Amino acid sequence: MHLTGRLLVCVPTTLPAVFPDDRHGVCAICGQAVRFRPHAPAESTLLCVRCYLVHVDPDTPCELTSESIDELNAWLAAPESDR
Ligand SMILES: [Zn+2]
């Protein structure tokens, strides 16, 4: 599938939220409601993770901000009782 612009891979809202300040949108391919971090480029084309894996060439770059990486690392490092 050919998609233009920046691609932002998002988590479907069917999965539990990790961060309370996520923004919400819709997958450009399947229409699934998705969530993404507030500092991600808002003009990106939103894709749910399933559509990214199924429909997009794996060599196609997607957005992942350094803030997102830092947040996820902090979440993973936190004790499960604090998540
Ligand atoms: Zn999708």
pLDDT in tens, 4-61: 778 898 999 998 888 899 999 999 999 999 999 998 887 889 999 899 889 888 788 7
Q: Contact 33/15 with Cβ under 8 angstroms?
A: no
> E strands within the chain?
7-12, 23-26, 33-36, 45-48
Distance 79 CA to ligand 1 centre (A): 31
Distance 81 CA to ligand 1 centre (A): 31
Tokens of 6: 């920046």
pTM equals: 0.76
Distance 57 CA to ligand 1 centre (A): 15
Distance 51 CA to ligand 1 centre (A): 4
